[in-house]
Structures are given as structure tokens and as C-alpha cells.
Amino acid sequence: MRLNKRIANLGLASRREADRLIADGRVRVNGEIVTEMGHKVDPDTDQVSVDKAGMEAPLYLAVNKPSGYTCDAKANAQEPKVVTQLVDFDGVYPIGRLDKDSTGLIFLTNDGTLATALNHPEEFKEKEYEVVVDHPIAEGALVTLQKGMPLMGGHTRPTKTRRLSENRFCITLTEGKNRQIRRMCRKVGANVRHLKRIRIDSVELGDLKIGHWRHLSEDEVARLKTPSNPET
């Protein structure tokens, strides 16, 4: 296996970043610095390290998902465009989901601990979305969305809403039922034309361009791993 691919598989850097690290003399194979591009290693026997990084460094990425991509780890004939194709790392998978037609913030990781924490049914991490509907939405409809409603054999948790214009608003959920916002909007007589997730807990999409990604900071990861308080 090529050294840059092995580094990517270990979550230590993307392949392009790995090439730069190799050229800078920051990569060791079995304790020896390797600067040769195209150097090959045996993943079963060769020990690869980058500076003082561990062999199985956890990886945390924020991605601005475009429309048309599904939140699956691997592509298939039915869904050839998946969110993991947008990054340069192997071995990562999405936490949670965004509809194929929706855009915005989603996390990719190789850390099962974070995935478990965020996907736990009793977790109350906020997820904020910007919604555009097909016609002006009444104030009473926003109030109904805030209170929660019967949906899919259960009842949605209360939400927060914030009007942006006649047919555009933000809604904040603390759960993630299948196509929840689209279903809730239909119940108040509105059809979603565009749906973008702009925040998960304290992590904001900000000016991250669509189809691009960035590393989460240590502080962001620490906050995400901290249990939420449903009373706040």
C-alpha cells in the first residue's frame, strides 16, 4: 500500500496532506524518516507515525453537504453520490443524517464514541435549520411548530422558531425523526422548497462553502461529547 494512502486510512491526514508531510520529513516508517514519494508499506507489519501522532488518531470533520448526496459511508448503484466522497480521508462515516435533497452541516468521524453520544435517543443536542417554504407562513403555524405535534406514531419535542422573511424561517430541533421538518411543515400547510442545517449544538456552519469541509477544533469536539441538559 502506498504510504500516503496508509496515512489516510489511519486518520492521520488526507492523502494530499500526507504527501506534504512526507516531503517535510515528518513521517516515520518503523521509526525511520521516509521522504520518498510513492514509498510502499505493509499495513499488517509496518508501523507508520506522523510526528508524535498516534496510530489510530481520531478524526472529526465538519462538511457542508450539497443537495443530491446521501449520508451513507459507501456509494452503490442506487446512490452513487455519498457525503464521504467529499473528503480526502478513508475510514470515516457520517453521524446522523441529512435528507438527500437537504444541504448543510454534517459531521464525519472515525470515532464511535462521538457517534454514540450524538445519536443517543435521550440526547438533546440542538440542531438548527434554515427553511424556505413555498408560500408565506403564518405566525400561528410557527407557534404550532414550536409546540410540537403528533408525527409518525409519536409526538415531536418542542422546537424553537425564528422568522427570517415571509416564507423563510429557522427552526431548532433536539431530535431527528425521518424527514421531520418536511413532515411538520406539511401538517401546517407548507411545503419545504429548501432546507439547510446551519448548526449542531455549538458548531455552526458559518462560511464553510458548499461541498467543502474543515476539521473540528478540540474545543468543539469536547463540547459535542459533553451530555446535554434537557432543561436548558
Q: Which residue has the cell 457542508?
A: 64
Give the whole-angstrom CA distance, residue 33 versus residue 25.
6
For residue 3, what is its C-alpha cell?
A: 504510504
DSSP 97-125: ---TT-EEEEEEES-HHHHHHHH-TT---
Known catalytic residue at 99 = yes
Count CB-CB contacts under 10 A for residue 118: 20
Catalytic residue among 42, 99, 201, 207: 99
Measured in degrees and rounded to the nearest 5, phi and psi for residue 81 equal -115, 110
User: Which among 162, 88, 150, 73 has a CA at the least distance from the CA of 126?
Assistant: 162
**Chain centroid to CA 53:** 24
Catalytic residue list: 99
